[in-house]
Structure 1
Amino acid sequence: MEKLKAILCLLIAMVSIQAGATFAKQLFPVLGPQATTFLRVWISALILLAIYQPWKHKFSKKSLIAVAIYGLSLGAMNLLFYLALERIPLGVAVALEFTGPLTVAMFASKKLLDLMWAFFAACGIVLILPHSDFSQSIDVIGVLFALGAGAFWGLYIIFGKKLGHHIKGGTATAMGMLAAAITVSPTSIPQLRFAEYSGQIWLMAFAVAVFSSALPYSLEMIALRRIPSKTFGVLMSLEPAAAAVMGYLFLSEQLSPMQVVAIICVMIASSGSSLTSRTAEVPPQN
């Protein structure tokens, strides 16, 4: 029963993250990806700071440096993902972003079988890129932004584990989100037009912050305590499919057959790597 509850929490978290992404993409015509990132990350940071109150703790210089690096990775991951989402479908963006944690998992495992998962991931990337059928081509800059987000997701995993040695639990998350908010501010502030934002805009921005960060991160932590990390990693591999479905239902994003095959290739690579790698855990998505 506990395992079933954990799986349910994880599935709800997946839907929540992609719902947050669909809300965010609907804000792009009004705010743009940079301003949307700013509002999402700052609202998330304020919520987490209010909950965990990190100012009650003392931090060493080394721990603050770890927070800064972790927050830089988290902020860059969020910003690049939204820049990608502006140009390419949600399902494609999520599939490409998964190459980051997938690469980390493969490097953590020395098994020859991981070469096969790398092959599937590479096939997914190649199939997504534009080919001779230009009517089905995809924005190359959007692809690069998504791959960049994936690279920073990989760094987020590495530095997140290091941060865990200095600061524990929600306090680390709250501090990291604050650092991420500071990271995205320089490129986002010039895009802000607070006086022009209606109550509906603020409500949607709050929904993006809650559905994309606060709620799914909490649910994923519950799931991780109740199921093996390999099970967690395999279930997380469903994320690109969930993103494609949410994009179709709420953003009217239709994928070409080639892009669907590409997403399936990345899902196979991710689930296979989760089963065979030593770490086998995919931390919460952006």
Structure 2
Amino acid sequence: MVSVSAVLFAINGVVSKVLINAGFSALQLTTVRTAAGFACLATYLGLTRAKSLQIRRRELPWLAGYGVIGLFLSPLCYFLAISRLPISIGLLLQYTAPVFIAIWARFAQGRPVRSRLWWGLSVCLAGVILVVNALGDLRIDIWGVAAGCGAALLVATYFVLSEKGVGKRDTLSLMCWAFAAAGLLGSALSPWWKMPWGALFSWEHPWTGTLALGYFVVFGSVLPYLLVIGAMRYLSATNVGILAMLEVVVATALAWIFLDESLTPLQIFGGALLLAGVIAAETARVPAVVDDVELAAPKTPLAATGTP
């Protein structure tokens, strides 16, 4: 289930860039994704368990913040990153989020961590330097790199918020209202009547754009979330996060095949270093007697915001 979701998210990276190249902005894609995600989940929950959609007034500020940070600002930064960088580099930068989470756990929460956090951090930083080609001759868009790093910080913030409040309601209703908050903000900033809908029919086959947008919403957003939620019944959050890194490999291959986006051998080596460092950070936290990270972590892989 995790592998299938990773492949779906990877394909979605390519579809997202195709839509961006067709005329949709990062803000417009984020708005469509969140509003449509809310519509899908609200319809499903309304038909199967309507009571779960009930919310109390005191929940509204937290739900709004959770949705805006995790499902609006984070994917917005990711879409901005891949609009200016190869998809693989944007994903790799976002996947550094576990490093920030582990550092937060150690210094802000005082949790014990294994010593491999520090060499993992060093390896991760070395990988980032190679991936963005800081030592090479290729020109990398600095704003794209900043957006990718911003996405990582926002995903880390999203996970920290999740530890504090996810257990208060079931995951599906939480995601539904988070999508609602994100969709409302996106719709206010990017009205639907200003969307470049005509771009969907500008391809050789008019239905191609509609299919791409449909995939973006259903198979690139809602379905992968549900698959990972199901996988969490059988795997720990840490294992799910590690398996979800398959997305980077598949997305890199697909971007090379369909978008002619290629990395240098040094960048590929840097990507491998970065993922190794992220895995070290992901597994560096010492579990407590009852691991609240496992119980409360958001049931989505890191790139879903682009991939929360």
> TM range, normalised to the smaller chain?
0.7 to 0.9
Q: What is residue 6 of structure 1 aligned with on the other side?
A: none
Q: Which runs of 5+ in 1 are unaligned?
A: 1-8
Equivalent residue, structure 1, for 2:184: 182
> In structure 2, how many angstroms separate the alpha carbons of the residues matched to 1:266 and 1:39?
31
Residues 262 and 194 of structure 1, relative CA distance in 2, 3 Å threshold: same
Q: Do structure 1's residue 15 and structure 2's residue 7 form an aligned pair?
A: yes
In structure 1, distance between residues paired with 2:255 and 2:151: 19
Asked if structure 1 preserves the Cα contact closer than 8 Å seen for 2:28 and 2:190, the reply is: yes
Q: How far did residue 42 of structure 1 move?
A: 1.6
- Preserved CA contact (<8 Å) 1:63 1:167: no
Corresponding residue number in structure 1 for 2:72 = 75
TM-score by length of 1: 0.88
For 1:162, the equivalent position in structure 2 comes to 164
Identity in percent:
21
What's 1:4 paired with?
none
- 1:273 to partner: Cα distance: 2.1
Output the CA distance in 2 between the equivalents of 1:242 and 1:145.
Answer: 22
Q: TM-score, normalised by structure 2?
A: 0.82
Aligned residue type for 1:71: G
Q: How do 1:250-265 residues align onto structure 2 when only pairs under 5 Å count?
A: 250-265=258-273
Q: 1:266 Cα shift?
A: 1.6
Q: Is the 8 A contact 2:12 2:220 kept in 1?
A: yes
Report the AA paired with residue 228 of structure 1.
S
Mapped partners of 2:133, 2:191: distance in 1: 33
Q: Structure 1's 275 and 41: CA in aligned 2 closer, same or farther, altered over 3 A?
A: same
CA shift, 1:196, in A, is 5.9
Runs ≥4 in structure 1, deviation > 6 angstroms? none
Provide Cα deviations, 1:92-143, integer angstroms capped at 9, x if missing partner. 1111001223311343353322111111111122223344643x23211111
Q: Count the aligned residue pairs.
A: 277
For structure 2, list consecutive stretches of 5 or more residues without a partner in the other structure: 106-111, 202-206, 288-292
The 3-state SS of whatever aligns with 1:247 is helix
Shift of 1:231: 2.4
Name the CA shift for 1:181/1:100 in 2 (closer, same or farther; >3 Å).
same
Report if the CA contact (8 A) 1:70-1:163 is conserved: no
Shift of 1:76: 0.4
Give the match's secondary structure for 1:276.
Answer: coil
- CA apart distance, 1:144: 0.5
Indicate the RMSD between aligned Cα atoms, in angstroms. Answer: 2.3
